């Protein structure tokens, strides 16, 4: 039976879940699928593209936030959903980061953040800054957490003392406070003109 792109992504997820990103080689993935390494190159042009698709897949369950929420609550909701999706799959934040950097990812989640910011009435540049600040926070902090978790799992390191969830909450609170403040400043400026 022939293999599909979906099979490949599922197998890749499974390698991350049971092992790590370091173990996610084309050869290993092929073995897991009972196929020769070259077979993967019929479905994806290269590893980079495969990883970008995997990253998009992992974030695919981040949908538009409930529309009875205020704009800032919607931002928070999307940010937390992104982080939850990443935390469900080991090393996924690193995968998403590389996909975004390579330009091979759709970065579709960012639209939900942008939409919420627009509904808040933020200017184009304020929206852009806000989306960047939130996205980099989610990805970057989760990379650090997941790398740490892998090291603990391998026993190369003892348990750390950082509370990543609390750190995330604190950082997100600052960014959202900034968003509200920038919006308020905009409103005053508009009213004065």
DSSP annotation of 60:
T
Q: Is 48 in the site for DNA (CB under 7 A)?
A: yes
Q: 135 by DSSP, 3-state: which?
A: helix
Which range in 43-51, 56-64, 97-105, 146-154 contacts DNA by CB under 7 A? 43-51
Residue found by looking up tokens 């609390």 in the block = 166
Whole-number Å distance between alpha carbons of 91 and 19: 10
Residue found by looking up tokens 């978790």 in the block = 149
Residues 116-155 vs a second copy: string with x where CB under 8 A?
---------xx-xxx-xx-xxx-xxx-xx--xx--x----
Q: Which of 43, 74, 83, 183 binds DNA (CB under 7 A)?
A: 43
- Supply the Cα-derived Rg of the chain in whole angstroms: 19
Q: Is 83 in the site for DNA (CB under 7 A)?
A: no
Whole-number Å distance between alpha carbons of 105 and 50: 10
Residue 102 near which of DNA, a second copy, none (CB within 5-8 Å, type-dependent)? a second copy
Residues 22-41 vs DNA: string with x where CB under 7 A?
-xxxxxx-x----xxxxx-x
Cite the DSSP H helix spans in 34-159: 40-43, 47-58, 71-87, 92-102, 109-119, 124-153
Q: 188 by DSSP, 3-state: which?
A: helix
Q: Is 80 in the site for a second copy (CB under 8 A)?
A: no
Whole-number Å distance between alpha carbons of 82 and 93: 10
Taking the least distance from each CB to DNA, the nearer of 35 and 82 is 35
- Which residues would be at the binding site for a second copy (CB under 8 A)? 97, 100-103, 125-126, 128-130, 132-133, 135-137, 139-141, 143-144, 147-148, 151, 157, 160, 166-182, 185
Residues that bind DNA (CB under 7 A): 2-3, 23-28, 30, 35-39, 41-43, 45-48
């Amino acid at each position: 039976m022939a293999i599909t792109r979906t099979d490949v992504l599922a197998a890749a997820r499974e390698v991350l879940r049971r092992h790590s990103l370091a173990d996610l080689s084309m050869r290993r993935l092929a073995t897991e699928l009972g196929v020769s390494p070259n077979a993967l190159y019929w479905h994806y042009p290269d590893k980079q593209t495969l990883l970008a698709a995997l990253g998009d897949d992992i974030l695919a369950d981040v949908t538009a936030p409930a529309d009875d929420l205020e704009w800032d609550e919607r931002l928070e909701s999307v940010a937390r959903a992104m982080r939850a999706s990443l935390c469900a799959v080991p090393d996924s934040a690193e995968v998403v980061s590389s996909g975004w950097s390579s330009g091979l990812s759709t970065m579709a989640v960012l639209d939900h953040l942008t939409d919420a910011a627009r509904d808040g009435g933020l200017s184009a540049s304020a929206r852009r800054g806000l989306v960047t600040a939130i996205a980099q926070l989610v990805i970057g902090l989760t990379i650090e957490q997941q790398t740490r978790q892998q090291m603990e799992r391998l026993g190369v390191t003892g348990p750390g003392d950082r509370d990543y969830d609390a750190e995330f909450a604190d950082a997100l609170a600052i960014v959202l406070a900034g968003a509200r403040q920038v919006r308020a400043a905009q409103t005053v400026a508009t009213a004065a003109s």
